[in-house]
Structure 1
Amino acid sequence: IMEVVMKRGAIEKGPALLYRDGDLAVKSLRDYLTGGVERILVDDRDVWQRLITMAEEEKDISKDRILFYDERESLFKSFKVDEQIEALFDRTVPLPTGGSLVIDYTEALTVIDVNSGSFRGKGIPHDQLAFLINKDAAREIARQIRLRGIGGIIMIDFIDMEKKEEKEKLLRILRQEVRDDHVKTVVCGMTSLGLVEMTRKRTTKRLWQYYYDTCPLCKGTGRILSARAAADRILEDLENRRRKGPFQRDLEIRCPADVKKVLESAPFRDVLHQTVLRDIRITEEPHFSRETYTILSL
């Protein structure tokens, strides 16, 4: 690539495009048609013909593995690709042994917890059982971080194992599994707390960032204000206003339905009237969020 850029740079007059990376089809052929890939299916005839032409020009790419998919059912539906993509957004990933992975994201790093789940081996010592689950987990973790586009620092909490040789073997398995990753991935080792630390170069956004926006209500926390807490805020606001002087007019409070229900319940209703000492009308606003309310003078 550098050679191409240098040659074009010596010829072209600026400003000029010196290099353009290949599109998705070209990248798939270049990066993924390796020894472990049996075939590439293409459902667009023009793209298929272009890839065949490229394969004919390359010595190490067999055009026999590039097949045109000509069926009534769509390619993604036929191979249930959409279902597999949806599964990549699940927090919990089941393992063949009955255990599971729990994947959580933070700004600084990604945390993966390995759980034994329902797997209970009869007559198998705990340490051997832990190693079996951890071995399956290591293979699935390498797969998940590739599919989900996870980058940066990754911390893995495997099931505790006492034997040093089993810990070292697990690290070797994990290193072997990430070796085929096209993105630079490094298994740093195991910390004093028994956590495995690894890093993966950030090349793209995490997969979920392409499909989902941050929730405007919870701002990505997964939590929203409870109706009771929202009602408490309204009472606190009214109390602060009353401290500046008594209310001269009746009031109307506009708020969501569940907050309205709390304000109209016995203890809140009594405190509300003792604070305002005027008539109060509470109106439901279906489009308000829990944190939104309006207090009007009538």
Structure 2
Amino acid sequence: MNSELVVDVKTSEISIALLEDKRLVELNQEGREEQFAVGNIYLGRVKKIMPGLNAAFVDVGYDKDAFLHYLDLGSNFNTLTQFTTQALSDRKKTPAIQKTKLQPEIEKNGSINDILKPGQDILVQVTKEPISTKGPRLTAEISIAGRFLVLIPFADKVSVSQKIKTEEERQRLKQLIQSIKPKGFGVIVRTVAEEKKVAELDNELKILVKRWEEAVIKTQQTKGVSLILEELGRTVGIIRDLFSPSFKHIHINDQAVFAEVRDYVNLIAPDRKDIVKLYQDELPIYDSFGITKQIKSAFGKTVSFKNGAYLIIEHTEALHVVDVNSGNRSKAGNGQEDNALDVNLAAADEIARQLRLRDMGGIIVVDFIDMHETENRQKLFDRMRENMANDRAKHNILPLSKFGLLQMTRQRVRPVIHIDIEETCPTCFGHGKTKPSILFTDQLESKIDYLVNKLLIKEFTLHIHPYVDAYISKGLFSMKWQWKRKFGKGCKVIAAQKLGFLQYKFYDKKGNEIDLQEEIEKIS
């Protein structure tokens, strides 16, 4: 399986697409100013204690206070509190974790009233991004993730991923890390550390310890609630978690992000830094790799997947519901049971992809087409488990119920991705009446004339629908050629698949949109 990562960097957001054999399987979008990412560490302040919930609400700078449950304090919370208090009380001297005396562990079934007080400053880490009306979810068990290792301050235990099956390799890694890790730190060895040499693991361990030390210094320098340690950017974070020999290319259309990713790949795999490519073509990067079309077909309430069969996907606050329909699909000579099995197996493939693609989490219920034979129901259950094996999110799948429903849970740490694929008519704005479409190119030309001669913007890019681009490009002396001759070579026209049929957008040479859209007309 060949994997590719395509990163589309825009002024306001970064979009990251993961392709497996050219097929879109994951899509991540985040604003350039996005905060409260999973893994961020904050110096927070306790605002309110809720004894009934055995939890506290903590101010970390978000509109709504973040939620911290007693069970998420961690057994070594007393040691963390002592260390934080020491760091804040003497800001000129940075405390060393190696010299910190471990305090007694907190009780597993204790009360949060005995541990926290309103106004108390504590170090916390985001485990779940703000979703719907809820603020972030926090933990006080601080951890700093790397590619091979996860560093845990105030612990002294070394754990090895259960996915490393060889007992000999597990023991090798455990003894190796025990011999090189500093006192006062615990370490979790990740699956990708299998067969890695001591030099690679030691190098990453030093980097993680340094990040912790920088976080401590920043804690001392800050006053009040603030971000102490920011998780790696979503792009680098995904590469850190996914990077494997199957990665063939990483394409990025921004120089700064390209340099950041290239530096990181050079750090973790120097021999593979050349797989990071800077995309410089004029065509939008998602159009070039066929991603825009896949997004248009994969998102929305209805998703077609095989020979007329389709899924209906509904989202509620409590759960996600997926209904499998055979549509007008039929195979001559096959019985109803065989047809149902065939559609259900194909649906299981598409559903596993949709869960990753939309990052759906929480409770998920799938209504498959009814099957009567126990053997076929088991085949479907096994197929679903096999498809979900590549999913990084924690999940649990139950066998089909007697009603043909498959129930599962999937870890939810950030809001589900929602992309509206329906297009509002850019010329009538949903009112149903438009100007004659044959005059559309005349309208575009007048906009270009206004841009060049009135606003004096000589270099710009016009994005239009591919059909319109084909129309203005036809002929030896095409309309596009005439525009360049009349308005200068700074006039560039690009076919963009994400636009509606009669939609257009202007961008300046820095990539910022120039708003020249028609105002909504009042139609009586």
TM-score (norm 2): 0.38
Counterpart selection for 2:379 from 163, 169, 173: 169
1:64 is the counterpart of 2:274 = yes
In the alignment, residue 282 of structure 2 is paired with which amino acid?
A: R
Q: Is the 8 A contact 1:98 1:117 kept in 2?
A: yes
Aligned equivalents of 2:270 and 2:363: distance in 1?
A: 35
Give yes or no for the alignment of 1:13 onto 2:236.
Answer: no
Determine which of 118, 123, 128 is the counterpart of 2:333: 123
Is 1:189 the counterpart of 2:420 in the alignment? no
- Equivalent position amino acid for 1:151 in 2: G
- What secondary structure is seen at the aligned counterpart in 1 of 2:248? coil
Q: 1:160-213 deviations in whole A, cap 9, x for unaligned?
A: 1122122112111111111211221221222232200011111221212x769x
Aligned to 1:47: 257
More helix per residue: 1 or 2?
Answer: 1
Counterpart CA distance in 2 for 1:8 and 1:53 is: 20
**Where do 1:90-239 residues align within 5 Å?**
90-208=300-418
Distance 1:80 1:63 in 2: 24
Specify the alignment match of 2:294 in structure 1.
84
Report how far residue 31 of structure 1 moved.
2.7
Using the alignment, how far apart are the partners of 1:71 and 1:48 within structure 2?
15
Aligned-partner Cα distance in 1 for 2:402–2:332: 31
Say which of 221, 232, 236 aligns to 1:26. 236
Q: Could you list the runs of 5+ residues in structure 1 that have no partner in the other structure?
A: 213-285, 287-298
- Matched position secondary structure for 1:95: strand
Alpha-carbon distance in 1 for matches of 2:245, 2:390 = 11
Deviation at 1:150, TM superposition (A): 1.2
Q: Report the alpha carbon displacement of residue 28 of structure 1 after superposing the two structures with TM.
A: 3.1
**Which whole-Å deviations, capped at 9, do the CAs of 1:67-108 have from their partners, x for residues lacking one?**
221212120222343343343442111112321111111221
Which is worse superposed, 139-148 or 60-69? 60-69
Label 1:94 to 1:9 Cα distance change in 2 as closer, same or farther (>3 A).
Answer: closer
How far apart, CA to CA, are the structure 2 residues paired with 1:64 and 1:170?
41
Distance 1:159 1:189 in 2: 15
Q: Structure 1: how far apart are the matches of 2:266 and 2:395?
A: 32
Alignment match, 2:178:
none
Distance 1:60 1:109 in 2: 43
Number of residues of Structure 1 aligned to a counterpart in Structure 2: 213
After superposition, residues 257-276 of structure 1 pair within 5 angstroms as: none
Q: Which position in structure 1 is the counterpart of 2:39?
A: none
- Aligned-partner Cα distance in 2 for 1:146–1:17: 29
- In structure 1, what is the Cα distance between the partners aligned to 2:316 and 2:243? 33
The structure in which a higher percent of residues are strand is: 2
- Judged with a 3 Å threshold, the aligned counterparts in structure 2 of structure 1 residues 65 and 115 are, in CA distance, closer, same or farther, namely same
TM score, norm. by length of structure 1: 0.64
| Separation in structure 1 between the aligned mates of residue 375 and residue 249 of structure 2, nearest angstrom | 39
Taking the aligned partners of 1:182 and 1:119, their CA distance within structure 2 comes to: 33
Structure 1 counterpart of 2:242, one-letter code: Y
Residues 173 and 21 of structure 1: CA distance in aligned 2, closer, same or farther (over 3 Å): same
Unaligned ranges ≥5, structure 2: 1-143, 145-151, 154-208, 422-521
Deviation for aligned residue 1:36 = 4.4
- Cα deviation for residue 23 of structure 1 reads 1.1
Which amino acid in the other structure matches residue 391 of structure 2?
A: D
- 8 Å Cα contact 2:215-2:229 kept in structure 1: no
**Aligned equivalents of 1:107, 1:205: Cα separation in 2:** 11
Q: What is the match of residue 73 of structure 1?
A: 283
Q: Which has the higher contact order (CA 8 A, sep 6+)?
A: 2
- Work out whether residues 88 and 148 of structure 1, in 8 Å CA contact, stay in contact via their aligned partners in 2: no
